[in-house]
Amino acid sequence: MQFPDYRPRRLRKNENFRRLIRETQLSINDFIYPLFAVPGKNVKKPIQAMPGIFQLSTDNIVAEAQKARELGIPGILLFGIPSSKDDLATGAFAKDGIIQQTVRRVKKEVPDILVITDVCLCEYTSHGHCGMIEKGAVDNDMTLEVLAETAVSHARAGADMVAPSAMMDGQIAAIREGLDEQNYENIPIMAYAAKYASCFYGPFREAAQSAPQFGDRKDYQMDPANGDEAIREITLDVSEGADIIMVKPALAYLDIICRAKQEFDLPLAAYNVSGEYSMIKAAAQMGWLDEEKAMLESLTAIKRAGADIIITYWAMQAAKVLSK
């Protein structure tokens, strides 16, 4: 096809033509809404670096889950900030831990929204790393047991799906085995399969109070320079039994999303992380970007790249726009 026989502008002439040939349709069905649970009652504490996002006590998580359900959002992803942290991350798998309590309440009061739990230890360790420290470094295999125990405790509290994000080798197999042993063979795993050591998690670490107290996460999270390695990481998680695979962050890694969609036959999630959200919020507050348009354009781009599921702090705002 060549100009002048082909004139692409013919089908861009008005909105009805554009609707007919639109390839990507963003939908409320695509969204998972992350929430931060803190101890207490009636707590709604703004997160400075994430305008519009709050740390919420369980009662307020229930209320927010209710609103999400009314808007048609299929699921929420819960992060817990415990009242105290220790070296062994005991708050992560405590029967009455912040996540376990919150999951029980939400499942009781808003049964028909999916409650997904982030399975990691950084919010629960005093040192802020995602695993057990042995000789000054995160010990992989010791951490696996704790992750499996944490995932089982979430399932016992009623979680519909667990989402391991610690980037330990073998974590999906360890968690699958732990769940199956306790007869939770029907609880799926959404694996943070290709998770990068990204500066775009900065605002989240304020929200979850989970910044590492020494060093960084580069010896377990991936180098942003690598693409082939993401394929190897995802291959491992698929072989270990992941039900959904995830690429994280999303916007700076659209090429990885695109490759993952082509190479793997499993539902693909992308995590539109805190920094990606806050950048747009900040620019909009300065009057430099149209917030709603920037939100919709980035979510559409993530979907066009190949994501079936988008985990995003925009979930409520986007759902409101899409339901108009």
Contact footprint for ligand PBG (CB under 6 A) = 118, 120, 122, 130, 165, 201, 204-205, 217, 273-274
- Tell me whether residue 54 or residue 204 sits nearer to ligand PBG (CB atom): 204
Per annotation, catalytic residue among 107, 248, 261, 303: 248
- Tell me whether residue 205 or residue 304 sits nearer to ligand PBG (CB atom): 205
195 catalytic residue (yes or no): yes
Residue with smallest beta-carbon separation from ligand PBG: 204
Which two three-digit tokens encode residue 93? 């798998």
Per annotation, catalytic residue among 107, 195, 281, 303: 195
Beta strand 244-248 pairing with 190-195 = parallel
**127, 132, 134, 138 alpha-carbon torsion, rounded to 10°:** -80
- Tell me whether residue 184 or residue 204 sits nearer to ligand PBG (CB atom): 204
CA 55 to chain centre: 16
CB of 105 to ligand PBG, least distance (A): 22
Distance CA 219, CA 164 (A): 17
- Tell me whether residue 35 or residue 65 sits nearer to ligand PBG (CB atom): 35
The DSSP result for 11-25, as a single string, is: GGSSHHHHHHT----
CB of 147 to ligand PBG, least distance (A): 11
Helices marked H in 158-200: 171-181
The secondary element (H helix, E strand) that includes residue 153 is helix 140-157
248 catalytic residue (yes or no): yes
CB of 76 to ligand PBG, least distance (A): 14
User: Beta-carbon neighbour count of residue 72 at 10 Å?
Assistant: 14
Q: Which residues are catalytic?
A: 195, 248
